[in-house]
Amino acid sequence: MKKTLLSTLAAVALLSGCATTQETSSADSQTSETKALVNDFPTRDRVDYVLECVAKHGGLTYINQYACGCKIDKIAEKLSFEEYDAARTFGQMQKTPGEAGAAFRDPQQSKDLRAKLKDAEAAAEKACFVQ
């Protein structure tokens, strides 16, 4: 339990460092702040993503933590949180069998958002993980 708590705290600490933006000139700061606010993912969702990513990549190591934190940051650059959240929901719920799952599988919006998230994750994987 103690090790899990420390691992979780380490992931949160790592994410808080990655989520900061560089200082810019006053002319650029308004545009940067607006963009940062539009694509600002809640910390809880960032941590959930990092923990899932770490589990998929073989467990908790510094390299996996850093790369997974980087990965969610890269995804946040390409998708707004609303798009990300909808795409994750569509992706999880599309597995529902029968007519109940059709509402999540069949709409064009679902297909577009899932494809956009898949492309963003693939690009982030290439950018963040050592090949």
Q: pLDDT tens for residues 95-108? A: 899 888 888 888 99
Q: What is the pLDDT of residue 40?
A: 84
Range of the domain at 61: 2-21+28-128
Give the tens place of pLDDT for each residue, 109-120.
Answer: 999 999 999 999
Q: What is the pLDDT of residue 116?
A: 97
Q: What is the pLDDT of residue 26?
A: 47
If one counts the domains in the chain, the total is: 1
Give the tens place of pLDDT for each residue, 26-60.
Answer: 445 455 554 555 568 999 999 999 999 999 999 98
CA atoms within 13 A on the CB side of 106: 8
